[in-house]
Structure 1
Amino acid sequence: MPDPVKNLCSALALFFAATVAPSVQAANPADAGKIVRQAFEAADDGFDMAKTQNFYSGWVSEAIFEPLLSYDYLSRPARLIPLTAEAMPEISDQGKVFVFKIKSGIFFSPDPAFKDKKHELTAQDYVYTFKRLLDPVNRSPNASFIEGKIVGLDDVAAKAKKTGKFDYDTPVAGLKAIDKYTLRVELKATDYNFLYVVAYGGFGAVAREVIEAYGDQTGLHPVGTGPYMVEKYMPRSKILLTANPEFRGYIWDFKSTGSARDEEIVKQMKGKKMPQVGKVDISIIEEEQSRWLAFQDKQLDIDKLPQSAATAALDGAALKPELKAQGIKMDRVTDAGIVFTIFNMRDPVVGGYTKEKIALRRAVGMAYSYEDEITQMRLGQAVRSEMIIPKDVVGYDPAYRSSLAYDISLANKLLDHFGYKRGPDGYRNNPDGSSLTLKKTVEPAAIYKVQSEIYKRGLDRIGIRIEFPVSNFADNLKAASACKLNMWGGAWNADFPDGENFLQLLYGPKAGAGNHACYESPAYDALFRKAVSLPLGEERNKVYAQMNRQVEADTPWIVHTSRIRSWLYRPWIVGYKKHPILHSDWAFIDVEKH
């Protein structure tokens, strides 16, 4: 049996050797003396975006890998722009054929896998990147973005499932490098969200030489064409990024939306050679109080105000005078995202599609006080989410109201009706008389202790026992992906500003690969396929609403809230504006001397 510790050490040795490899200085204007120090509230699980949807992995990967398209830094709502593409693609055949022209002179960061040669980004790199997402060995949680969509690609994936090996050299009719810098993608059917898909971080270009050199350790050794590369990586502790010497740089020239804040940013940043930030120092600090103390002690330059510090830092929606006096500034936004509870539909206790199991999950939802979450757990820094699609995302309906309202009386009646009888201790058993105990796995942060108390209070009132096993986020994510948890808390922020990005999280073919509820509903899946075949507009939005109702009927999720984020930053951070889709903003800002 291979020694995993020895293998990991070997991989890390190669990794750190690569980060000090010599290279020819390119156009990157970053200043190594300009450092941004930030904290993550949970750990990543490596930086191979074909194998993860971890939020923090994606955050860092945005700075390392480049998709063909990205988003304008200032525009709201989010607006697509070319990134490695010269311009927006030529689109033909009723939105089924996309031709991208890739900029010449873009190079991957230096790495031993290239054998002392510079590797220029080409259309073939994107062909390889797209194919990797459907390689069965990767079990990519991002596969559904293109699964069943590109002409000929699923046939290669199907063959790989039979043979055990994906043939990357097999031509795919719908995915072609026409020449060195021209990529042609042909879809089986019109997909009006395809450009959003192309802009998603999971489609940032990787080089075949790198993947083949590092294999299963690729996530420890990210090599891309973006503005940054990893200098030091201590899993679950520290990530240090440094400027990619091969990055071409750009001139800051984003247009103001007309707001006073945008006008100030444009005045500060317009015309600067970017990126200016030379290093990004990221600490993993899971405990809210520790993170807040680090910011107060000036160990962090940018931080999301912890929920537990809201009353100490804010007067309503404004910073308190003592923080303003330090020059601290705030960008306050409501997430284009939702928070929810996940039930494992394969779990013998809470899973299944029989009426009594659905009744159990619905009763749990009706016993949970969303108002208590907002006031006690979020300290007022959240709003109730009525549907899976959040505000400012296409498909959101402000008039929609969830059928899962807080109602202890109705929850009790539902459980009584479906045979969950109370025992002598007041707690209920399963309809067959066996003991009933739920287990909601949580992370160690203090806010989850508060949420556990909210859950327990509600469930005590309906006679259901619940336990709260504690583990770290990365391990919980892996267990949820393998359909092994009973219940878990999830959150999702928009990867692209359309409801499909949220609704795909419950699509049946993604069970065990991004669909952490392992929910498989023929009715829901049929609605999903219908929705993505429709153009943007009212008809599609109506199908989105039907999908929401189907989820409420089966209850694989309980949708909770959308969080209000108050991003604080020190006076020496210039040009900062939190983006609803992009999270890696280090290449858009500057650091003044301090």
Structure 2
Amino acid sequence: MNHWPSFVRRLAAACLAVPLLAFAQSPAATPQKVLRYAFPAPETGFDFAQVSDLYSNIAISHMFDSLYQYDHLARPFKIKPAVAAAMPEISDDYRTWTVRIRPGTFFADDAAFKGKKRELVAADFVYSIKRFFDPALNSPHYTGWSEERIAGVEGLREAAQKAKKPFDYDRPIEGLRALDRYTLQIRLENPRPRFLYMLTEMPAMAREVIEAYGDRIMEHPVGTGPYRLVQWRRSSLMVFERNPNYREVFYDAEPAADDAEGQEILAKLKGRRLPMIDRVEVSIVEEGQPRWLAFLNNEFDISGVPLEFTNIAVPNGKLAPNLAKRGIRMSRGLASDVTFFFFNMEDPVVGGYTPEKVALRRAISLGTDVEREISLLRRGQAIPAQAGVAPHTYGYDPAFKSENGEYNLAKAKALLDLYGYVDKDGDGWRDLPDGKPLVIKYATTPEQISRQMDELWKKNLDALNIRLEFQIRKWPEQLKNARAGKLMVWQLGSSSTTPDGQDALQNAYGPGAGGSNLGRFKLEKFDELYRKIDHLPDGPERLAAFEEAKKLLVAYMPYKFAVHRLYTDLTQPWVYGYRRPLFWRNTWHLMDILPHPEKN
């Protein structure tokens, strides 16, 4: 105990060394306005067609433009043009969507353009959409785009697969056409009244860049967005600078009349040319302690409060007086997300659709003490999830209750006993019905919060007398293995990308197995419901189908949905305009850095 204070000092110094070293640069090279903060998990790359993780997509969203974007201050949400010149022209049957591209939008300079300025045109969107369907890319976004039923594009995919030849990007199709240099037309086989949501998440890429860098395109993002990547140390540091070619855009938004914070932000920033920040430096700091200490030391300008520091930073949900005295501001609310663990439905132990396999998954779900996770690990910063549809999205029902949200150890044990998962060899651990050892292999990552979650998993399964083995790897490697179907069980989270809850159901849609459907769940009755939800207009019938789909997932339990997280974001007093987005990712260009004291 006598050595504890010096240990704390040494640990703090070691933790702070990471951001201090990462951001070292000469004063002359420091831009006037620099935003510094950290991701708690590494990026996987910068090609939207090939990535699905949140942190890669945050980076991508600031380097690339979509046709449409969300109003940053409007709540619940409002969609408006980005590089589109106006809102789309939509046929009465919602099958033909025509969009005019804003002239004078240019890509960031790159050697692939051979010294010429490269303007964004309608053909870039035709090409970019086709990439989702290229079998060689195995895009995690394929399932979602496939369901939109763009006329003719599936034929291109099937031809490539059948002939085992490269995808034919040059072959014209009815559903994707550049009518002229600036006019994009998309024809759909079925009415799609919510297709506009897809047009908010469709980064345009230049074909010559893709062809120039080939397999290295994940390392060479070239877009039309407000920032460009100028430095990258994989899983360590990303540095972005203002894109000199960024089009002329001025801050504007439409907060609600009773939104005092939004109205204040608009009043101060309206009419300012974007981006207002010159440079953004993003470190990867997976452990909560060094992230938190760096924020306190003014090395980071924005920080989510790490769970282990919740009671220090925001006791009883209020900003700590010492932080308030420094002028630090707090933003807090219920995120549009859900955490879950999936069972690999193709795994011989936990997968399958027979009664005994379903019973095993349901028993593990019933034996998962989510309330303990919330109170101990999450320090009260979450609410239990009853289903996978996230708050703030259509289809989320706060009154919906299910077995997914139930903790019942006696019921879990009874299920295991009934279906033959009993101790057959007398060693104290349950065995499979055929007498072989029952071992759950749980994928996890090495950071501290995961280790704490691992301890809770061990306690939960020990209480059921089920053996547990941990498979520890870095997050990007676990994601790669999950998409390849190599993991038995893994826990992660999912954030909403649109205001529609069907995106969450896509995680269990059969054709998406290996992509968004990491659990590789395949049930025709569920797939039929998914397609029904897809085609129905919003209303009571669609909401009833949502509820039926949720109940099917509870019955088969390919996923155990754990919590919807509360977020608590802190900003330094010199950061202005920050507001956590609901469904979108791009925020850097909408903030300003005010004059502030020199950092320690």
TM-score for the superposition, normalised by structure 2: 0.92
Q: Which residue in the other structure is 1:98 paired with?
A: 97
Aligned-residue offset at 1:426: 1.9
Alignment of 1:112 with 2:111, yes or no, is yes
Structure 1 CA distance for aligned equivalents of residues 544 and 588 of structure 2: 38
Match of 2:540 among 513, 538, 541: 538
CA contact (8 A) 1:426 1:463 kept: yes
Three-state SS of the structure 1 residue aligned to 2:323 is helix
CA contact (8 A) 1:376 1:450 kept: no
CA contact (8 A) 2:226 2:274 kept: no
Q: Which residue in the other structure is 1:383 paired with?
A: 383
Amino acid across the alignment from 1:408:
L
Q: Which residue in the other structure is 2:4 paired with?
A: none
Aligned-residue offset at 1:494: 0.6
Amino acid across the alignment from 2:542:
R
Aligned-residue offset at 1:445: 2.2
Q: Which residue in the other structure is 2:19 paired with?
A: none
Structure 1 CA distance for aligned equivalents of residues 174 and 327 of structure 2: 57
Three-state SS of the structure 2 residue aligned to 1:308 is helix
Identity of aligned residues (%): 38
CA contact (8 A) 1:192 1:536 kept: no
Structure 2 CA distance for aligned equivalents of residues 80 and 91 of structure 1: 15
Please, which moves more after superposition, 499-508 or 101-110? Answer: 499-508
Aligned-residue offset at 1:336: 0.4
CA contact (8 A) 1:249 1:275 kept: no
Q: Which residue in the other structure is 2:45 paired with?
A: 46
CA contact (8 A) 1:72 1:78 kept: yes
Amino acid across the alignment from 1:255:
E
Amino acid across the alignment from 2:169:
Y
Match of 1:568 among 567, 570, 593: 570
Task: Write the mapping of 1:518-529 to structure 2, written as runs, cut at 5 A.
Answer: 518-529=520-531
Structure 1 CA distance for aligned equivalents of residues 439 and 398 of structure 2: 36
Structure 2 CA distance for aligned equivalents of residues 286 and 551 of structure 1: 32
Aligned-residue offset at 1:338: 0.3
Amino acid across the alignment from 2:81:
P
Amino acid across the alignment from 2:172:
P
Alignment of 1:191 with 2:182, yes or no, is no
CA contact (8 A) 1:408 1:458 kept: no
Aligned-residue offset at 1:67: 0.8
Structure 1 CA distance for aligned equivalents of residues 173 and 495 of structure 2: 32
CA contact (8 A) 1:440 1:467 kept: yes
Q: Which residue in the other structure is 2:304 paired with?
A: 304
Structure 1 CA distance for aligned equivalents of residues 232 and 490 of structure 2: 28
Task: Write the mapping of 1:158-307 to structure 2, written as runs, cut at 5 A.
Answer: 158-163=158-163, 164-200=165-201, 203-257=202-256, 258-307=258-307
Aligned-residue offset at 1:425: 2.6
**CA deviation vs aligned residue, 1:470-528 (integer Å, no higher than 9, x gap):** 21111111010101001001211111011111111111111112211111111111111
Structure 2 CA distance for aligned equivalents of residues 256 and 511 of structure 1: 39
Q: Which residue in the other structure is 1:363 paired with?
A: 363
Aligned-residue offset at 1:259: 1.9
Three-state SS of the structure 2 residue aligned to 1:468 is strand
Aligned-residue offset at 1:216: 1.0
Task: Write the mapping of 1:128-167 to structure 2, written as runs, cut at 5 A.
Answer: 128-148=127-147, 149-163=149-163, 164-167=165-168
CA contact (8 A) 1:147 1:154 kept: yes
Q: Which residue in the other structure is 1:56 paired with?
A: 55
Aligned-residue offset at 1:348: 1.5
CA contact (8 A) 1:517 1:556 kept: yes
Amino acid across the alignment from 1:95:
Y
Structure 1 CA distance for aligned equivalents of residues 401 and 515 of structure 2: 29
TM-score for the superposition, normalised by structure 1: 0.93
Q: Which residue in the other structure is 2:20 paired with?
A: none
Three-state SS of the structure 2 residue aligned to 1:158 is helix
Q: Which residue in the other structure is 1:446 paired with?
A: 448
Three-state SS of the structure 2 residue aligned to 1:371 is helix
Q: Which residue in the other structure is 1:336 paired with?
A: 336
Aligned-residue offset at 1:296: 1.0
- 4+ runs of 1 displaced by more than 2 Å? none
Amino acid across the alignment from 2:226:
P
Task: Write the mapping of 1:488-507 to structure 2, written as runs, cut at 5 A.
Answer: 488-507=490-509
Q: Which residue in the other structure is 2:21 paired with?
A: none
Structure 1 CA distance for aligned equivalents of residues 31 and 537 of structure 2: 47
Structure 1 CA distance for aligned equivalents of residues 235 and 252 of structure 2: 36
CA contact (8 A) 2:319 2:330 kept: yes
Aligned-residue offset at 1:249: 3.2
CA contact (8 A) 2:143 2:516 kept: no
Structure 2 CA distance for aligned equivalents of residues 564 and 179 of structure 1: 47
Structure 1 CA distance for aligned equivalents of residues 187 and 140 of structure 2: 22
Structure 2 CA distance for aligned equivalents of residues 67 and 263 of structure 1: 26
Structure 2 CA distance for aligned equivalents of residues 279 and 206 of structure 1: 22
Structure 2 CA distance for aligned equivalents of residues 425 and 433 of structure 1: 12
Aligned-residue offset at 1:52: 1.1
Give structure 2 stretches of 5+ with no counterpart.
Answer: 1-29
Structure 2 CA distance for aligned equivalents of residues 192 and 541 of structure 1: 16
Amino acid across the alignment from 2:345:
M
Aligned-residue offset at 1:583: 2.4
Aligned-residue offset at 1:263: 2.3
Structure 2 CA distance for aligned equivalents of residues 365 and 60 of structure 1: 35
Three-state SS of the structure 2 residue aligned to 1:332 is strand
Amino acid across the alignment from 1:97:
T
Aligned-residue offset at 1:93: 3.8
Three-state SS of the structure 2 residue aligned to 1:524 is helix
Q: Which residue in the other structure is 1:580 paired with?
A: 582
Structure 2 CA distance for aligned equivalents of residues 559 and 389 of structure 1: 9
Aligned-residue offset at 1:554: 1.1
Structure 1 CA distance for aligned equivalents of residues 42 and 248 of structure 2: 29
Amino acid across the alignment from 1:366:
L
Amino acid across the alignment from 2:469:
E
Three-state SS of the structure 2 residue aligned to 1:239 is strand
Structure 1 CA distance for aligned equivalents of residues 264 and 445 of structure 2: 39
Q: Which residue in the other structure is 1:18 paired with?
A: none
Match of 1:481 among 480, 483, 504: 483
Amino acid across the alignment from 1:316:
N
